[in-house]
Amino acid sequence: MLKTRFTELFGIEHPIVQGGMQWVGRAELVSAVANAGALGFITALTQPSPEALAREIARCREMTDRPFGVNLTILPALKAPPYAEYRQAIVESGVRIVETAGNNPQEHIDALHVHGVKVIHKCTSVRHAVKAEKIGADAISIDGFECAGHPGEDDIPGLILIPAAADKVSIPMIASGGFGDARGLVAALALGAEGINMGTRFMCTVESPIHQRVKEQIVANDERATDLILRTLRNTSRVARNAVSQQVVAIEQQGGATIDDLRDLVSGQRGRVVYEQGDPEFGIWSAGMVQGLIHDIPTCAQLVSRIVREAEEIIASRLGRMIATA
């Protein structure tokens, strides 16, 4: 067992988290992660309405009696989803942990704290981590440049970002982006984190509710198989490299592209079809550099127990033996 301030604060067995994932963070995966003793998050905006989210939370509860949370991603949008109503559904469903991401979570932290809900804010820079602590977040998830999804615009990899944030933040912090095995977990703990958050790795498990062919593509891909899209619009996203992502990059390299030029190519609905129908070339889908460390499709229980067991071995044996006594 690895006990950290993070496992203590959230009442979980292992210092491992499955962060929010659009179209992937559904009850099947989240309950399997919870049953494995880790902390999973249902992705609120994958559900079409707050009522549907409440039903998804209830469905998850039928499959586990362990703690799990809900991710509320607050992205700038012309037509914003009804965040306050999603938040209300979370509170009324009795969920006690929320992962916020994407924007300043102040309003949500204040409202959730009134109901005793703890908030982990996921961010991609030291300054945002410091701010989140200041406005009351209970924990931080710090997402390095390696990560799938939105790495921000600073391009600071975890090897620097994690200890830099650990130096400035005193609430429990977990490391995110590029983690997939025991070596990463031990490294994160050494760098000052109290656990790890994994997206791509959990996406490639038996219980992950996406098409088998996408999981097989992740196994086949190596660490170079990602692209950074929407860089020129300062809304960078790390996605699995395919013909569509390459086309987006090529258009952006020509200069002057607007979101209207790219909207059809980067459409989330096309990404959803990738996960549902299993054609990895159909649209944009998220995956990180950690694909290079993913070689199998285990159950969540196998994955979590393997990571914890091997991490204990690394700490107690391999690293321990390196301390010279003379």
- Return the residue of 37, 40, 178, 195 that touches ligand FMN, per CB under 6 A: 178
81 and 43 Cβ atoms separated by less than 8 Å: no
What are the structure tokens assigned to 295, written together?
A: 């070689």
Nearest residue by C-beta to ligand FMN? 199
Quick one: 22 or 35, whose CB is closer to ligand FMN?
22
Q: Smallest distance, Å, CB 178 to ligand FMN?
A: 5
**Residues that contact ligand FMN, how many (by CB under 6 A):** 29
| DSSP output for 114-161 | HTT-EEEEEESSHHHHHHHHHTT-SEEEEE-TT-SB---SS---HHHH
Say whether residue 73 binds ligand FMN (CB under 6 A). Answer: yes
Cα–Cα distance for residue pair 110/132, rounded to 1 Å: 12
Cα–Cα distance for residue pair 271/51, rounded to 1 Å: 24
Residues 237-276 that bind ligand FMN (CB under 6 A): none
Q: Which residues contact 110 (CB under 8 A, 6 or more apart)?
A: 136
Q: Smallest distance, Å, CB 101 to ligand FMN?
A: 3
Q: Smallest distance, Å, CB 199 to ligand FMN?
A: 2
CA triple 189-208-109, angle to 5 deg: 55
Quick one: 103 or 257, whose CB is closer to ligand FMN?
103
Mapping DSSP to helix (H, G, I), strand (E, B) and coil, where does residue 40 land? strand
- Return the residue of 15, 19, 105, 184 that touches ligand FMN, per CB under 6 A: 19
227 and 239 Cβ atoms separated by less than 8 Å: yes
Site string for ligand FMN, 87-116 (x = CB under 6 A): --------------x---------------
* Gyration radius (Cα) of the chain, Å: 19
- Return the residue of 7, 31, 47, 197 that touches ligand FMN, per CB under 6 A: 197
Quick one: 7 or 141, whose CB is closer to ligand FMN?
141
Say whether residue 283 binds ligand FMN (CB under 6 A). Answer: no
Say whether residue 145 binds ligand FMN (CB under 6 A). Answer: no
Cα–Cα distance for residue pair 229/208, rounded to 1 Å: 25
Q: Which residues in this chain contact ligand FMN in the complex, by CB under 6 A? A: 19-22, 24, 43, 71, 73, 101, 122, 143, 146-149, 176-179, 197-201, 203, 286-288, 290
